Amino acid sequence: MAMLATMPRRSYDQYCAVARALDAVGERWNLLIVRELLRGPRRYTDLHADLPGVSTDILAGRLKQLEGEGLVERRRLEPPANATVYQLTPRGAELRGVVEALAAWGLDALGEPRPTDAVRTHWFTGDPRGDAAPTP
């Protein structure tokens, strides 16, 4: 799918499935946004709170990029909530296995938290939706 016209399109320009996938989700923060949205629809402020270190401009731009790729969509909640949330499209939800595989692969390199590391409890659950018990 084409990117939004306002976002410059970066591409590896390779006829390769891995390169095309990285064109869509390879920008910094994109897969972490997907990780958060795998738990379900989220308000922008909640996404920003659970992605420490991302600026509001970068988060907004990445969400627009992911929308342009057809991986994320915005939805207005009915009153009384009356808020806008971001959620994965069915195509975006297909990234669950990718995120889970990266988490499993990265586990060996995790080690102890550094003093500057942010920590969120739901990052340690066995299920990205956050409804499973923490893994040891």
CA angle 14, 20, 22 (to 5 degrees): 110
Residue 73: give the domain boundaries.
Answer: 28-105+119-124
Q: Domain of 43: which CATH number?
A: 1.10.10.10
Residue 74 lies in a domain: yes
pLDDT in the model for residue 126: 54
pLDDT in tens, 104-130: 999 899 889 899 999 988 887 655 444
Summarize pLDDT for 19-66 with one digit per residue, the tens: 999 999 999 999 999 999 999 999 999 999 999 999 999 999 999 999
CB count within 10 Å of CB 37 equals 25
Q: Is the pTM of this model over 0.85?
A: no
Question: Could you report the per-residue pLDDT of 57-84, keeping only the tens digit for each?
Answer: 999 999 999 999 999 999 999 989 889 9
Residue 47 falls within a domain, yes or no?
yes
